[in-house]
Amino acid sequence: MFRVLVTDEVDQEGLALLAAEPLLQVDEVPTLPKDELLARIGDYDAIVGRSATRISADLLKAGTKLKVVGRAGVGIDNIALDVATSLGIAVINAPAGNTVAVAELFFGATIGLLRQLPRADHVMNNGGWDRNSFLGRELKGKTLGIVGLGRIGSEVAARAHAFGMTVVAFDPYIADERFTALRVRRAPSLDALLAEANILTLHVPLTDETKGMIGKRELSRLPNRSVVVNMARGGIVDEPALLAALEADQLRGAVLDVFSAEPLVADSPLRKAPNLLLLPHLGANTVEAQRNVSRDVCLAVRDALIRNDLSKSINVAGGAGEWGDLQPAMMVARRAAAVARAVLADQGMRAVRRVALRVSPDLAHGTGAILAAVAAGVLEGVIETDRLNLINARALAEARGLELSVAESSELGARAIEVALSGGMQQLAVSGVAPEGSTPRLTQIGSFHIDVNPKQTLLILTNHDVPGVIGRVGTLLGEQSVNIAEYHQARLAQGGDALAAVSVDGEVSETTRRALLELPDVITASVVHFRDE
Ligand SMILES: NC(=O)C1=CN([C@@H]2O[C@H](COP(=O)(O)OP(=O)(O)OC[C@H]3O[C@@H](n4cnc5c(N)ncnc54)[C@H](O)[C@@H]3O)[C@@H](O)[C@H]2O)C=CC1
Ligand SMILES: O=C(O)C(=O)COP(=O)(O)O
């Protein structure tokens, strides 16, 4: 049974999907004060919320059972993502469901500002009838400058064409082809965009790069009497600088839907600023958007908890495609890494420095997830953490100074992986395959070709290629009540060294391993217990 805490008014449709699962118990609470949340979080396996709840480092650390943080929306700037990753907690958002809601609000609010609709309504509510004070401006023929041509920026651009606007955008992370497809002119720099934007709108996440991106200097570069719209995040537009530009009548007006501190304090000077349309973070507040994001995040949280499907987790990088399809490759990669680490350790090389993963092109879509599995395989049984998982494995490995790399290689056969571990002068590569519809296998350890299904426990022996070794090993394991599932013997040349990969049921004790080493002609014996069974 997993317990899920839901806060911040998440739409009921998604919550009903969680509640319908017998394995999930859902508790819904209003947005809680920090102390109260801290006191309760320890009981929960997952928390689902929106922007109002700060998922701080303290909260994540207090959530000793936490496995998943769900965000019913896009922005994750309220979540301490690095801390979640290092603790192995999946962070899942709902990136696409509220795009249209924000794009539509942009036009609603901008036209509202340009035609002074809130003020006209206010006059009407007070019994007045004033047509002369409300001479507005049109969108047609104006230049719209979009910062951030992602999901929302693109939807804004598409609609802006219908209004007859010239659309220019600045987004250094988007390819030229996308600009062309959207019929948007690319601004080479933010300054170039600012120089011509009659209406400037921001659709970027809050990051170190975007914080304070529009300040006094940038506002002064806009054409005189432009409009600034921030529906992205508070702090991207510097609030005191915006206030000063409005008061100086340098800007025609501005729309703010987001603030550096939310809720906006009652006595904020922004509330009295001229020509400023203020909204209480309404971008995603439509019935449709809330239903979409709630469904999306709840399904992903459910699958993460119940099926260990982490494909929607922001902090499992690169797991695109079907998670189920990648699972066998991840399993074989993790076990190949565990085998390589154990064999190298028994050869006296414990300090692995480099981990190089190669995958066949048909697995290239899953390199991030497969690399995470490899990192987990290298670390399991070596580091003391009951929270080692696919989310934190890469970060934990890198924190120990391991260099991880991944490459696609067409030299490998279908659905094949190779994990090479090295340190000092030693290196060992272990390969495997995860064929569609049949059992994943390990196919090579160093130069030895094998063919074994790595299940429960794998025993890897090296021995002199002389008669009788297999019999002696079999007898010894039988005496110790260890049942052999598969025994694969490989050799490079007759009479040289040989390697045996023995898949056994249950555990092989250290006493048994030592007894194997005592047998004539056995050179090394490594035991790998797969911990992800
Ligand atoms: N007011 C509201 O209720 C809502 C606000 N948002 C905000 O809108 C933001 C954007 O949402 P989406 O379009 O869905 O995200 P997205 O990830 O699809 O698009 C963001 C774009 O910003 C670009 N970008 C990042 N750093 C940049 C920089 N320094 N300069 C120029 N471009 C940069 C990226 O390349 C990307 O194309 C979210 O991060 C969130 O903060 C989102 C939904 C609702
Ligand atoms: O999705 C986003 O990033 C938003 O800003 C929407 O926030 P909300 O869920 O309405 O608190």
Measured by CA distance, the residue closest to atom 10 of ligand 2 is 284
Q: What is the pLDDT of residue 315?
A: 87
**Binning pLDDT at 50, 70 and 90, where does residue 387 land?**
confident
pLDDT, position 491: 85
98 Cβ inside 6 Å of ligand 2: yes
**pLDDT band at residue 103, thresholds of 50, 70 and 90?**
very high
Residue 308 pLDDT: 86
What's the confidence (pLDDT) of residue 95? 93
ipTM of this model? 0.99
Place of tokens 């790399």: 405
Q: Which of 219-223, 346-350, 496-500, 517-521 has the lowest mean pLDDT?
A: 346-350
CA of 106 to the centre of ligand 1 (A): 14
Whole-angstrom distance, CA of residue 262 vs CA of residue 54: 11
Q: Which residues line ligand 1 (CB under 6 A)?
A: 73-75, 95, 98-99, 102, 147-153, 170-174, 203-207, 209-210, 231-233, 257-258, 281, 283-284
Query: Once rounded to an integer, what is the mean pLDDT over residues 359-369?
Result: 93
pLDDT of residue 316: 81
Q: What is the pLDDT of residues 214-254, one digit of tens each?
A: 999 999 999 999 999 999 999 999 999 999 999 999 999 99
Check residue 317 and give its pLDDT.
Answer: 60
Ligand 2 centroid to 49 CA: how many Å? 10
Superfamily of chain region 99-278:
NAD(P)-binding Rossmann-like Domain (3.40.50.720)
* Active-site position among 71, 186, 203, 233: 233
Token digits of residue 404 = 């991880």
CA of 256 to the centre of ligand 1 (A): 15
Instruction: Locate the ligand 2 atom nearest the alpha carbon of residue 76 and give its number.
Output: 3
Distance 148 CA to ligand 1 centre (A): 6
Terminal alpha carbon distance of the chain: 20
Q: Is the pLDDT of residue 386 over 80?
A: no
In the predicted model, what is the mean pLDDT of residues 442-464?
A: 94
What are the angstrom distances between the C-alpha of 382 and each of 123, 340, 455?
72, 13, 19
Distance CA 475, CA 251 (A): 88
From 203, 252, 281, 335, active-site residue: 281
Residue 497 pLDDT class (50, 70, 90 cuts):
confident
pLDDT beyond 60 at 447: yes
Q: At 86, phi and psi to the nearest 5? A: -70, -25
Q: Does residue 381 have a pLDDT over 80?
A: no
Give the residue carrying structure tokens 């600023």.
273
What is the rounded average pLDDT of the residues 81-89? 92
Question: With contact defined as beta carbons under 8 Å apart, do 322 and 499 qualify?
Answer: no
Expressed in angstroms and rounded, the spacing between residue 212 Cα and the centre of ligand 2 is 20
What percentage of the chain carries pLDDT values higher than 70?
98
- CATH 3.40.50.720 positions along the chain are 2-97+289-307, 99-278
Measured CA to CA in angstroms, residue 312 lies from 12, 69, 150, 297, 461 at distances of: 21, 11, 18, 9, 40
Tokens linked to 520: 């004539």
Residues of the chain with CATH 3.30.1330.90: 323-529
Ligand 2 centroid to Cα of residue 256, in Å, is: 14
Q: How confident is the model at residue 321 (pLDDT cuts 50, 70, 90)?
A: low
Contact (CB, 8 A) for 46 and 2: yes
What pLDDT score does 311 carry? 84
- How far is residue 470's CA from residue 411's CA, in Å, rounded to a whole number? 33
pLDDT band at 122 (very low <50, low <70, confident <90, very high): very high
| Residue 98: pLDDT over 70 | yes
Which protein residue's CA is at the shortest distance from atom 14 of ligand 1? 151
Pick from 140, 134, 155: nearest CA to 231: 155
At residue 424 the predicted structure's pLDDT band, cuts being 50, 70 and 90, is confident
Paired residues of 170 in beta bridges: 147
Q: How confident is the model at residue 445 (pLDDT cuts 50, 70, 90)?
A: very high
pLDDT beyond 70 at 320 = no
- For 254-285, the pLDDT digits (tens) are 999 999 999 999 999 999 999 999 999 999 99
Q: Answer whether residue 322 shows pLDDT above 90.
A: no
* 130 has pLDDT over 60: yes
Side-by-side strand order, sheet with 497-504: 484-491, 497-504, 457-464, 522-529
| 50, 146, 152, best to mutate for ligand 1 pocket (most atoms within 8 Å of CB) | 152
Overall size of the chain counted in residues: 533
Q: Look up residue 363 and give its DSSP letter.
A: G
Is the bond preceding 263 in cis, omega lying within 30 degrees of 0? yes
Q: Indicate the range of 180-189, 316-325, 379-388, 448-457 predicted with least confidence.
A: 316-325
| Partners of 418 in the β-ladder | 358, 431
Q: Rounded to whole angstroms, how far apart are CA atoms 452 and 335?
A: 12
| Mutate-to-test residue for ligand 2 from 51, 106, 262, 287, highest number of ligand atoms within 8 A of CB | 51
pLDDT band for 533, please (50, 70, 90 cuts).
low
400 φ/ψ sector (left φ>0, alpha ψ -120 to 50, else beta) = alpha
- Provide the pLDDT confidence category of residue 382 given band limits of 50, 70 and 90: confident
**Residue 262 designated active-site:** yes
Ligand nearest to the CA of 232: 1
The span from the CA of 209 to the CA of 200, in Å, is 18
What confidence score (pLDDT) does residue 318 get?
A: 52
Instruction: State the ligand closest to the CA atom of 283.
Output: 1
Third-level CATH fold of 323-529: 60s Ribosomal Protein L30; Chain: A; (3.30.1330)
For CA atoms 178, 170, 319, 46, give the dihedral sign: negative
Give residue for tokens 């993502």: 81
Which CATH entry fits the domain spanning 2-97+289-307: 3.40.50.720, 3.90.1300.10, 3.40.1010.20, 3.30.70.120?
3.40.50.720
Is there a contact between 294 and 95 (Cβ–Cβ < 8 Å)?
Answer: no
Residue 214 near residue 202 (C-beta atoms within 8 A): yes
| Residue to probe by mutation, ligand 1, list 155, 201, 204, most atoms within 8 Å of CB | 204
Cα(93) to centroid(ligand 1), Å: 13
Dihedral over alpha carbons 474, 476, 482, 485 (to 10 degrees): -10
**Residue 25: pLDDT band with limits 50, 70, 90:** very high
Mean pLDDT of 433-450: 94
93 lines ligand 2 (CB under 6 A): no
Atom of ligand 2 nearest to the CA of 285: 10
pLDDT of residue 350: 81
State whether residue 236 is helix, strand or coil: coil
The token duo for 77 is 């700037």
Residue indicated by tokens 């290689």: 409
Supply the residue whose CA is at minimum distance from atom 5 of ligand 2: 75
Give the up-direction half-sphere exposure of residue 26: CA atoms within 13 A in the CB hemisphere: 20
